[in-house]
């Protein structure tokens, strides 16, 4: 999957991503970087609205799980089960969300559970970066449902 493929998928299947002007900056097997501009995500203080910041962070984590499952030829439906968001700094301009699997996460265990039970859970984090600083951090728990459970 290319960054363009993922961006089209997000805009077509998660319309909020288009309204927020989310762009896929880069992706690899273990990392996704999304970008978003200030203008469509602005609040009354001329900084990024907290809901927008959280949404972009969730989209980055969701996208990472989605591309890993597609690459593994394991079509699934991925949903967020719960999350917590720490807002560390105000974001007054364009920003990125970087999501990577934590080294402690056991991807193989997750895929085995998904294959065996048809459902599996995994924690994924995202960091919001603004002017080379971590401006926010999301910890999300996601659930994947195998195709036969859709």
Instruction: Please report the domains of the chain, with CATH numbers, ordered by start residue.
Output: 3-149 (3.10.129.10)
Residue 96, CB-side half-sphere exposure with 13 Å CA sphere: 14
The pLDDT value given to residue 105 = 64
Mean pLDDT of 60-64: 97
Is-contact 24 3, C-beta < 8 A? yes
Is residue 26 scored above 60 in pLDDT?
Answer: yes
CA–CA separation, 88 vs 56, rounded Å?
15
The pLDDT value given to residue 150 = 44
E-strand stretches of the chain: 23-28, 31-36, 76-87, 95-100, 119-130, 133-146
Nearest alpha carbon to residue 74 among 20, 115, 126: 115
- Per residue in 90-115, pLDDT (tens digit) is 999 999 999 998 766 688 889 999 99
Strand arrangement, sheet containing 119-130: 23-28, 31-36, 95-100, 119-130, 133-146, 76-87
Is-contact 60 35, C-beta < 8 A? no
């Amino acid at each position: 999957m290319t960054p363009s493929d993922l961006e089209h998928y997000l805009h077509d299947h998660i319309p909020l991503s288009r309204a927020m002007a989310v762009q896929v900056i880069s992706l690899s097997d273990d990392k996704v970087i999304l970008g978003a501009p200030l203008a469509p995500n602005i609040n009354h203080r001329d900084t990024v609205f907290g809901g927008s910041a959280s949404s972009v962070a969730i989209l980055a984590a969701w996208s990472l799980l989605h591309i890993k499952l597609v690459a593994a030829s394991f079509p699934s439906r991925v949903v967020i089960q719960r999350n917590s968001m720490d807002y560390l700094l105000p974001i007054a301009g364009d920003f990125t969300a970087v999501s990577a699997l934590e080294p402690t996460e056991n991807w193989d265990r997750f895929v085995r559970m998904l294959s065996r039970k048809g459902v599996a859970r995994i924690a994924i984090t995202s960091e919001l970066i603004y002017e080379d600083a971590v401006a926010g951090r999301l910890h999300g728990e996601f659930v994947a449902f195998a195709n036969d459970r859709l």
